[in-house]
Structure 1
Amino acid sequence: MANLNHPLKEKLNLQKLLNNGELNTIKEQQASWSVYEVIKLMQELPSAQRILLFRLLDKDRAIDVFERLDTTQQTDLVQAMADPEAVQLFEKLDPDLRVHLFDELPAKVTKRLLAALSPEARESVNVLLNYPPESVGRIMNPRYLAVRSHNTVREALAVLRSSNLEDDELRVIFVIDEKRYYKGVVSLTRLVRAEPDAKIETLLEGSDVFVRASEKRTVAARLLKQYDLVALPVVDGEGRLVGAVSFDDVIDVLEEEASETMYQMAGIVDVRRQRDIIHSEKLTRGPILYAVSVRIVFLLVTVAGGLVTGGLIDQFEEVLATILAAAVFIPLVMDMGGNVGTQSTTIFARGLALGHIDLAKFWWHVRREVGIGLVMGLLLGVVTGVIAWQWQGIPNGFPQIGIAVGVSICAVVTLATFLGFLLPYTLTKLGFDHAPGADPFITTIKDFTGLALYFSLVNFLLAV
């Protein structure tokens, strides 16, 4: 059955068996199928036959298959089940997966199924539902193994052996005190190798690595990746242990964030849908007019900015006519700010998606970026100023042009780093998608201000 070069459905004539009601034959056959093969089959079957096949699976196999289906397929199956059957399935799922499905199901279905759960299962769901939708508390697993810091290794191993948790929930053991305050973790390997009479508190590590249940899920994802952890302890506002988060719990968060960032940086997220991700199918095979409409609005801002900048150059026509050398550096002043602004918006978008930029500390990030911009501006200003002085200044009798170019470059680069953070942040706060919108605004503002400063300096320094 493992040979997937020949579709399993053709090999077993599954649809024919289902249509003929030969359910016992299918039930016997499915015992030899892998979970992957079952999922592949279910994806190929019509909805009615999909639920029928699912009901024929062994109970343990059914749970494994269900947990690996995507959210849409899971909700379709649940809604096709009778309430007792759905409740029986929900009782066996991890609490965080239950909550995720309850979020996706219609409110009436959620309310009905929640009321039918056992008191223990209902309590675990209600605990998680009390946290904000995007918080760590929604995805944490309230099932974990914890021992007291004053316990001995022998006592901890006894607790481990008597636990009814799954194997993947026992890879790390959390340590708490008498009031359930989190104290650290002990790995299973270290516990087994320690002396039986050793105190758990002597084996502690990771006492300062934890996440609060109220924090965003991206924080947990970042910590798990940063410290390469098997599981991350989750504490409440006072530091009491309330759950655990594993990498499996946050992998979807990382994939969603990465996909959204790539779409946004490509400038293909429609502002009218704000932060919704456009499906790949529609973007790669949809109408050409759709792709145009997504990006054209903000590109018109660049057109308007170009016209305004052109009007500015026209106002300094006398300067250009008198000192033709001044025109040589117009592209340099315009392009330098554009490149730096693009760098800053890219850094902002990636940092925001990966959780490296905290919007609550936005102005700290702005000050840091502007500081970087000022240093780069000073360096680039000196370099370009010297080049301008030597190239067009001294030979043509206008050495002051080096000062005009250098000061303008320094100012434009610093301004571009400021706008590169401020404009995406402002658009995000206003509910717009910043990816296609930030760069056109930055281009317009820095071109106008940079050239206005440049021409004003040329006019002043050279007394045109």
Structure 2
Amino acid sequence: MQPYSERPDPSLLLAPKISQILEQRRTHEARAALAELAMPEIVDLLVALAPQHRAMAFRLLAREMAADAFTELPAQIQQQLLDELSNEQLAQLFNEMDPDDRAELFDEMPGQLVTQLLAMMRPEERRSTRAILGYPADSVGRLMTPEFLTLKPDWTVQQGLGHIRQYGRDAETVDILYVVDKHGRLLDDIRIRELLLADLTTQIESLMDTSAAWLDAHDDREAAVRMMERYDIAVLPVLDRDHVLVGIVTFDDVADVAEEETTEDIHKGAAVAPLEMSYGETSASALFRKRIPWLLVLVLINLGSSSVIEFFEETLQSMIALAFFIPLLIDTGGNTGSQSATIMVRAIATGDLELKQWLRTVGKELSVGITLGVAMGVAGGMLGLIRGGWELGLIVGLSMVCIVITTNLVGASLPFILSKLHIDPAVASSPLITSIADITGLIIYFMFANWLIGSLPTGTALDEVAAAVDTTLSCVPCWLTNGSGRG
């Protein structure tokens, strides 16, 4: 059997044929061919078709199929179809969409067009859409759908099953049903399996255990991701402030959120402002705007490394071999800090760590840093011994130990500090940690060199550190005004 990854996509093979059929206006044949495709194949086919054929093929889809396909298309193609369809066709399209998908699309459309479309939609669809749009942009309320089934506690199982048969086709899912009181307040959830296996005369109230997990409509949407992971459940009820059931959130919506949040954290972790669209849909100018701010900030921070080297120029001249180990030491410090920060950021994001655990966590990372530092110090010291003798080996080894311990603590602490300041800890990105580690590592390295080879220019070790930092800060405006690192 041919591996799945090597099988030809039927939708792509069909694209030339559909284009030819549409050119010849054989619409019945095209409609029949489209009806045989699965939804992912329809989406791929619409993407593959030329714009003029795409609009024709889209109009041939059944209403519900067209609504589902539209929500899966890239934003650029959605906009092209919006331009091709009349307002009446758009109203029919949005009437068939799930309310949460409709609200998400309305967010991206001009306000005047949204008003026109809402006025043309069915009253019940208009009410549900306005209700969802009334919640904050990143809240659970924007993810939920109001298409769910409820049961009454005093019903029998037979009455419940009859209700499902009558209204289940319009519900998002019937896997889990919700028991509510006469005011619509959630009492419990019941799996369809429990109803199917129970005696028909059993009251639904006797099947309840009042242990339903639920979300507040105003919760951040990341709460839905964490709740589904914790309870291993594919559907969650959404309640308002009065505990009234107003909607449900399903796994497919939460999976999209999880992917978006992970992508956003990855972008921030690389010092890139998160993209609003996919990479393919983002223009070169937009990519420039997303990347340049952090690069400029990091340039200013990295001026500190140059200032430290300049300050300890006399030390460097007294033992030229010191320069050989500068990249080794600062790269090791940056890598250590990045490892620690990445672990902390992910643990905080998944709820594995809380802010109140910072002291115990930093203590744990201190012990880890010490063991890592000793191991790396021995390796670095041996390299220094081979390269320049025992004196250089001792300088490199001791510097490596202190650099690894220090940068490991910085990487572990910074995400907690940013979280405390209500800043996304993902900002503690590898480039930022690396830049901080560079400055810290150079100061530690040259301090040990000064101590062992006795070439301190003036003052004590603490004076040297303070002077190096002052020099770094004072040089920044000079660099900006005349390109010089000397104040």
The TM-score with structure 1 as length reference comes to 0.74
Match of 1:419 in 2: 414
1:194: how far off?
Answer: 1.7
Match of 1:370 among 325, 345, 362: 362
Match of 2:69 in 1: 65
Contact 1:415 1:446 in 2 (8 A): no
1:172: how far off?
Answer: 0.6
Q: Secondary structure at the match of 1:101?
A: helix
The reply on whether 1:345 has 2:341 as its aligned counterpart is yes
Task: Give the Cα–Cα distance (whole angstroms) in 1 for the partners of residues 245 and 447 of structure 2.
Answer: 58
1:164: how far off?
Answer: 4.3
Decide whether aligned partners of structure 1 residues 436 and 301 sit closer, same or farther in structure 2, where only a CA change above 3 A counts. Answer: farther
Match of 1:161 among 147, 158, 165: 165
The reply on whether 1:81 has 2:117 as its aligned counterpart is no
Task: Give the Cα–Cα distance (whole angstroms) in 1 for the partners of residues 293 and 407 of structure 2.
Answer: 29
Match of 1:121 in 2: 125
Give the aligned length: 441
Task: Give the Cα–Cα distance (whole angstroms) in 1 for the partners of residues 42 and 379 of structure 2.
Answer: 69
Q: How does 1:272-311 map to 2 (within 5 A)?
A: 274-276=273-275, 280-281=279-280, 297=296, 300-301=299-300, 303-311=302-310
The reply on whether 1:11 has 2:17 as its aligned counterpart is yes
The reply on whether 1:190 has 2:194 as its aligned counterpart is yes
Q: Secondary structure at the match of 1:7?
A: helix
Task: Give the Cα–Cα distance (whole angstroms) in 1 for the partners of residues 234 and 429 of structure 2.
Answer: 35
Task: Give the Cα–Cα distance (whole angstroms) in 1 for the partners of residues 143 and 99 of structure 2.
Answer: 8
Q: Secondary structure at the match of 1:163?
A: helix
* Deviation per residue, 1:277-331 (Å, 9 max, x gap): 6854599999x9999968854553565232233246457789x98xx9x999999
Task: Give the Cα–Cα distance (whole angstroms) in 2 for the partners of residues 28 and 263 of structure 1.
Answer: 43
Q: How does 1:294-443 map to 2 (within 5 A)?
A: 297=296, 300-301=299-300, 303-311=302-310, 313-314=312-313, 337-351=333-347, 354-356=349-351, 363-364=355-356, 366-377=358-369, 379=371, 410=405, 413-419=408-414, 421-422=416-417, 435=429, 437-443=431-437
Task: Give the Cα–Cα distance (whole angstroms) in 1 for the partners of residues 430 and 276 of structure 2.
Answer: 14
The TM-score with structure 2 as length reference comes to 0.71
Q: Secondary structure at the match of 2:233?
A: coil
Contact 1:143 1:165 in 2 (8 A): no
Match of 2:245 among 236, 241, 247: 241
1:84: how far off?
Answer: 2.0
Decide whether aligned partners of structure 1 residues 312 and 426 sit closer, same or farther in structure 2, where only a CA change above 3 A counts. Answer: farther
* Deviation per residue, 1:212-260 (Å, 9 max, x gap): 2112222212322343312111122343322111111122222223333
Task: Give the Cα–Cα distance (whole angstroms) in 2 for the partners of residues 214 and 427 of structure 1.
Answer: 18
Task: Give the Cα–Cα distance (whole angstroms) in 2 for the partners of residues 65 and 278 of structure 1.
Answer: 18
1:141: how far off?
Answer: 0.8
Task: Give the Cα–Cα distance (whole angstroms) in 1 for the partners of residues 157 and 291 of structure 2.
Answer: 65
Q: Once superposed, what is the RMSD of the aligned Cα atoms?
A: 4.8
1:455: how far off?
Answer: 7.2
Contact 1:63 1:93 in 2 (8 A): yes
1:123: how far off?
Answer: 1.0
Decide whether aligned partners of structure 1 residues 47 and 296 sit closer, same or farther in structure 2, where only a CA change above 3 A counts. Answer: same
Q: Secondary structure at the match of 2:265?
A: helix
Q: Secondary structure at the match of 1:175?
A: strand
Decide whether aligned partners of structure 1 residues 202 and 314 sit closer, same or farther in structure 2, where only a CA change above 3 A counts. Answer: farther
Task: Give the Cα–Cα distance (whole angstroms) in 1 for the partners of residues 421 and 446 of structure 2.
Answer: 25
Decide whether aligned partners of structure 1 residues 284 and 433 sit closer, same or farther in structure 2, where only a CA change above 3 A counts. Answer: farther
Match of 2:468 in 1: none
The reply on whether 1:23 has 2:27 as its aligned counterpart is yes
Q: Which moved more, 1:47-56 or 1:125-134?
A: 47-56
1:104: how far off?
Answer: 1.6
Task: Give the Cα–Cα distance (whole angstroms) in 1 for the partners of residues 397 and 437 of structure 2.
Answer: 24
1:115: how far off?
Answer: 1.7
* Deviation per residue, 1:97-143 (Å, 9 max, x gap): 11011112221111110122222111101110111111110010111
Amino acid at match of 1:248: D
* Deviation per residue, 1:73-118 (Å, 9 max, x gap): 3343234322222212222211111101111222111111012222
Quick one: percent identity of the two aligned structures? Answer: 27
Q: Secondary structure at the match of 2:356?
A: helix
Decide whether aligned partners of structure 1 residues 123 and 452 sit closer, same or farther in structure 2, where only a CA change above 3 A counts. Answer: farther
Q: How does 1:95-244 map to 2 (within 5 A)?
A: 95-166=99-170, 168-204=172-208, 207=211, 209-244=213-248
Decide whether aligned partners of structure 1 residues 333 and 417 sit closer, same or farther in structure 2, where only a CA change above 3 A counts. Answer: farther
Decide whether aligned partners of structure 1 residues 437 and 191 sit closer, same or farther in structure 2, where only a CA change above 3 A counts. Answer: same
1:152: how far off?
Answer: 3.5
Q: Secondary structure at the match of 2:236?
A: strand
* Deviation per residue, 1:309-361 (Å, 9 max, x gap): 3246457789x98xx9x999999975664333212332354456x55389xx7
Amino acid at match of 1:73: I
Task: Give the Cα–Cα distance (whole angstroms) in 2 for the partners of residues 349 and 29 of structure 1.
Answer: 49
Decide whether aligned partners of structure 1 residues 387 and 150 sit closer, same or farther in structure 2, where only a CA change above 3 A counts. Answer: same
Q: Which moved more, 1:277-286 or 1:49-58?
A: 277-286
1:190: how far off?
Answer: 1.4
Q: Secondary structure at the match of 2:107?
A: helix
Q: Secondary structure at the match of 2:147?
A: coil
Q: Secondary structure at the match of 1:234?
A: strand
1:405: how far off?
Answer: 8.5
Task: Give the Cα–Cα distance (whole angstroms) in 2 for the partners of residues 114 and 331 of structure 1.
Answer: 61
Q: Secondary structure at the match of 2:274?
A: coil
* Deviation per residue, 1:11-70 (Å, 9 max, x gap): 35x34x434444345445544455455434322333343222222233444344334434
